[in-house]
Amino acid sequence: MNKNLTSEDLGKIDQLEKYLSNKNNHFLGYPCTIDFDYSILYKFMKYPINNVGDAFYSGGSYQINTHPFERDVIDFFAQLFKAPENNYWGYITNGSTEGNLYALYLAKRLYPDGIVYFSEDAHYSIEKNIDILSLKSQKIKSQHNGEMDYTDLEEKLSNHQKLPAIIVANIGTTVKEAKDDIKHIHQILDHLRIKNRYIHCDAAFCGSYAQFLSPKPNFDFTEGADSINTSGHKFIGSPIPCGVVIVLKHHKEQVSQYVNVIDSLDDTITGSRNGITSLILWHFIKTVGVEGLKKRLNECLEMTDYAYKQLSAIGIDVWKNPNALTILIPRVSKKLQYKWQLATHQETTHIILRPGITKKMIDRLVKDLEKEIHSHLTTAEESKAGL
């Protein structure tokens, strides 16, 4: 097939590789891990792998799939999230936006007249999914650290005590990596005697390591979650965006239906689903596993501490939540924002120390920031002198 590519076409491919390699080495503002190698899986790129249908269903006429690998991945994350042994189900999604959509879809099927409560620091996909599903909602204020304001939550819940509550808890907010406490949320619901409730935990970045933090955030199934999603391309690492959503099985059965044309159950958001990402996540859990996740977390915490100290040393106002891998600094110039691909929100820029980040990268960023600070000081001094 490659023989049909011209020398110009091949040149474009080589140019793209050089471009991506350079950008990969200047990538500090988004929670996407860069230390992976799945080249052993390249041989599967010649098959039309499609995980259509339910990976746990015994039937299915489309059989070029990786359902057994997908089941292994779901079992791994179900155990990590402490799901009840005989009452969990899940699937591999295209990413956490889909995981959030699926959870809200389940909640809507359970409680059609429910109201969704989510904080102002929630990921933008929450509001988008609420709009897609035409759900009623209430936005909750956030505390300074990005965590949900529980006083405001209780006040807004009290105005709708007779209606079911669908609550999205953040387990690592987009900007500040704050974590909501679902035990506290349940206590509020108990106090208000709101029996009909559904709590979804959006753990896109932190889900794969939150159990190993000390103190551990309250977010798993033993602590009252009805569903949890996490991303595969973030802390874990994948060349293809993907995610995992785990739900209580008895909730999933509310939406599951048999489809004759595929001879399987249709209980996912999309019909056709990526089967390569199941192999990628399976490869990760087999080669890294729980102990490897703990090791990666400790290395990232050490790198975060290093970055925090280096940035502070040049006079930058640095802030972060306890046990977070996200550091916040004052908004940088557009030039540095683009060079280092730094996500910026209002007057804040954040740096995320996920796997693959090296001290060399941090040192180069610090050097760039130091130059920018010096340039600003020089400009200010010249302006003051009337030059």
- Residue 230 near residue 284, CB atoms below 8 Å: no
Residue type for 284, please? F
Tell whether the model's pLDDT for residue 381 goes beyond 70: no
Which of 226, 252, 287 is at the close of a domain?
Answer: 287
List, for residues 81-122, the tens digit of each pLDDT value: 999 999 999 999 999 999 999 999 999 999 999 999 999 999
Average pLDDT, the chain: 94
User: How confident is the model over 152-204, as pLDDT tens digits?
Assistant: 999 999 999 999 999 999 999 999 999 999 999 999 999 999 999 999 999 99
Q: Is residue 380 part of a domain?
A: no
* Residue given tokens 């799901």 in the structure block: 83
SS3 for the chain is CHHHCCHHHHHHHHHHHHHHHHHHCCCCCCCCCCCCCCHHHHHHHHCCCECCCCCCCCCCCCCCCCHHHHHHHHHHHHHHCCCCCCCEEEEEECCHHHHHHHHHHHHHHHCCCCEEEEECCCCHHHHHHHHHHCCEEEEECECCCCCECHHHHHHHHHCCCCCCEEEEEEECCCCCCCECCHHHHHHHHHHCCCCCEEEEEECCCCCCCHHHCCCCCCCCHHHCCCEEEEECCCCCCCCCCCEEEEEEHHHHCCCCEEECCCCEEECCCCCCCECHHHHHHHHHHHHCHHHHHHHHHHHHHHHHHHHHHHHHHCCCCCECCCCCCEEEEECCCHHHHHHCCCCEECCEEEEECCCCCCHHHHHHHHHHHHHHHHHHHHHHHHHHCCC
Query: Which segment of 22-26, 339-343, 356-360, 383-387 scores lowest on mean pLDDT?
Result: 383-387
Its pTM stands at 0.94
The enclosing domain of 299 has a CATH number of 3.90.1150.10
The residue from 287, 314, 337 where one domain ends is 287
Dihedral angle, C-alpha 276, 279, 281, 284, nearest 10 ° = -140
Confidence bin at 386 (pLDDT 50/70/90)? low
pLDDT value, residue 100: 98
With a cut of 70, say whether residue 380 has pLDDT above it.
Answer: no
Domain that holds residue 365: 7-28+294-372
Tell me the pLDDT tens digit for each residue of 299-338.
999 999 999 999 999 999 999 999 999 999 999 999 999 9
Q: Angle CA(273)–CA(278)–CA(280) in degrees, nearest 5?
A: 130
Instruction: Give the angle subtended at the CA of 97 by the CAs of 93 and 98, to the nearest 5°.
Output: 40
Within a domain: 248: yes
Percentage of the chain beyond pLDDT 90 is 92
CB contact at 8 A, 110 and 198: yes
Q: How far apart are CA 150 and CA 180, in angstroms?
A: 9
- CA gap 138, 169 in Å, rounded: 13
Q: Give the whole-angstrom CA distance, residue 357 versus residue 349.
A: 17
pLDDT recorded at residue 58: 87
| Sheet of strand 227-231, all strands in order from the earlier edge strand to the far edge | 88-93, 243-248, 227-231, 197-202, 165-170, 115-119, 136-140
Phi, psi of 220 (to 5 degrees): -90, -175
Banded model confidence at residue 23, pLDDT cuts 50, 70, 90: very high
pLDDT band for position 1 (cuts 50, 70, 90): low
Mean pLDDT value of segment 128-133? 98
Share of the chain above pLDDT 70, in %: 96
- Looking at the fold, whether 62 and 133 belong to one and the same domain comes out as yes
Binned at pLDDT 50, 70 and 90, residue 8 comes out as very high
pLDDT of amino acid 373: 82
Asked whether the beta carbons of 294 and 81 are under 8 A apart, the reply is no
Q: Which of 145-149, 342-346, 362-366 has the lowest mean pLDDT?
A: 342-346
- For residue 378, is it within any domain? no
- Same domain for 244 and 307, yes or no, is no
386, part of any domain = no
pLDDT given at position 330: 95
CATH number at 268 reads 3.40.640.10
> Are 49 and 88 members of one domain?
yes
Q: What is the mean pLDDT of residues 118-141?
A: 98
| Domain count within the chain | 2
* Residue where one domain finishes, among candidates 258, 287, 316: 287
Let me know if residue 385 belongs to a domain: no
385, pLDDT greater than 70: no
Residue range 209-219: average pLDDT? Answer: 97
Rounded Cα distance between 309 and 304, Å, is 9
Say whether both 232 and 191 belong to one domain. Answer: yes
Looking at the structure, tell me whether residues 278 and 348 fall in a common domain: no
Q: Do 241 and 117 share a domain, yes or no?
A: yes
Residues ≥6 apart with Cβ < 8 Å to 134 = none
